[in-house]
Amino acid sequence: NPQIWAYLLADLRLTLADIERIAPLAEGALPYNLAELQRQQSPGLGRPIWLQIAESAYRFTLGSVAGAVGATAVYPIDLVKTRMQNQRGSGSVVGELMYKNSFDCFKKVLRYEGFFGLYRGLIPQLIGVAPEKAIKLTVNDFVRDKFTRRDGSVPLPAEVLAGGCAGGSQVIFTNPLEIVKIRLQVAGEITTGPRVSALNVLRDLGIFGLYKGAKACFLRDIPFSAIYFPVYAHCKLLLADENGHVGGLNLLAAGAMAGVPAASLVTPADVIKTRLQVAARAGQTTYSGVIDCFRKILREEGPSAFWKGTAARVFRSSPQFGVTLVTYELLQRWFYIDFGGLKPAGSEPTPKSRIADLPPANPDHIGGYRLATATFAGIENKFGLYLPKFKSSSVAVVQPKAAVAATQ
């Protein structure tokens, strides 16, 4: 082991502390690769800066593709949710209801606008997915790392704080993305007039107009991420196997379960954000801010209006995060590149082989196999050696002397 020789040449002494640093004792476990273990514990040491940049670009690319797949998969549900939330009730001149419910909205969009009408405004959404996911995941991991205990656990308040910070940091990208997407989604309801494009929306709003409704976006994204990330982390622990690995279907289930409370509880903030960001038509109620919007919706439409589109939002958010994470997991397995650092989150870990997992000892063989197993475990734990595991390919058969004489 080069580390042992480095200690011997430097000090000519190998102390118990040195052995523990090289080969930390794990009760009942056989270390499978100490060099790999040390490299994962200190991934930034000894790596050139260009390699770390390449690793970041690699993960950024996989996250972008996964986010785009997740957003595309549930985009029709998102369009239905937006139109249901923007539908005005009594209190305005245009008081008629265009859609009875989410399913009726889906049928009418498909009938009058065609299949591609369900994907109106998708391109701006895909453009914003990459920086949004990168910012959110990076900030969440950064804050979690600051509060991680020595045993690897994170206190629940720190998980909530990390999620809230992640949600707040993404608004700089999500708000312009949301306002362009929403205006394109609602534009399909008007059959007359010029066709609305993303460039038209950008030209009409200007730089500062892209951040209209940003306060409501903060009110939605901060609580959503503060709820989602802790629930998702605990769901992953519940669904992990005995080696701590979470399979693709379990990742999908964890993402879906975490999305239900997160998406439903912040629906009122999402309704207010939608009303503020959609351009009011002739005869519709206009809003000057978050408080004004809240008061007018409550007065004109009642408390139930704040929960419009809840079902569509839950059915969109829950599978979207699950699909995104499963796609990310599969991409990491199919296109895995070793940059000498930590393995990307979601990749299948290499579990330590445990003594309990080894084949049972032959009860007729006293001492040999059982004693060798314990001896190998002690040597590997103490000195950091990697000893091969042998499995008997044949079973020795002992015959009585009489049977041997009879065959001769």
pLDDT tens per residue across all 408 residues of the chain: 565 566 555 555 656 666 666 555 554 454 444 445 555 555 555 567 777 777 777 777 787 788 888 888 888 888 887 777 777 655 444 445 677 777 888 888 888 888 888 888 788 778 777 677 777 877 887 788 788 776 667 889 999 999 999 888 888 877 888 788 777 777 765 555 566 677 777 777 787 888 888 888 898 889 999 999 899 888 888 888 776 677 778 888 888 888 889 888 998 998 888 888 777 666 677 888 889 889 988 888 888 888 887 887 887 778 887 787 778 777 877 887 777 655 544 444 444 445 555 555 554 454 555 556 666 666 656 555 555 554 444 444 444 444 445 445
Look at residue 186 in the predicted model and tell me its pLDDT. 72
Rounded to two decimals, the pTM is 0.60
3-state secondary structure the chain: CHHHHHHHHHHCCCCHHHHHHHCCCCCCEECCCHHHHHHHHCCCCCCCHHHHHHHHHHHHHHHHHHHHHHHHHCHHHHHHHHHHHHCCCCCCCCCCCCCCCHHHHHHHHHHHHCHHHHHCCHHHHHHHHHHHHHHHHHHHHHHHHHHCCCCCCCCHHHHHHHHHHHHHHCHHHHHHHHHHHHHHHHHCCCCCCCCCCHHHHHHHHHHHHCCCCHHHHHHHHHHHHHHHHHHHHHHHHHHCCCCCCCCHHHHHHHHHHHHHHHHHHCHHHHHHHHHHHCCCCCCCCCCCCHHHHHHHHHHHHCHHHHHCCHHHHHHHHHHHHHHHHHHHHHHHHHCCCCCCCCCCCCCCCCCCEEHHHCCCCCCCCCCHHHHHHHHHHHHHHHHCCCCCCCCCCCCCCCCCHHHHHHHC
Domains and CATH numbers, the chain: 2-32+352-407 (no CATH), 49-334 (1.50.40.10)
Select from 108, 92, 145 the least CA-distant residue to 305. 92
pLDDT of residue 104: 83
Residue 97, token pair as written in the block: 């209801």
Q: Which pLDDT does position 13 carry in this prediction?
A: 60
pLDDT, residue 25, reads 56
Q: What is the pLDDT of residue 226?
A: 93
- pLDDT computed for residue 193 by the predictor: 56
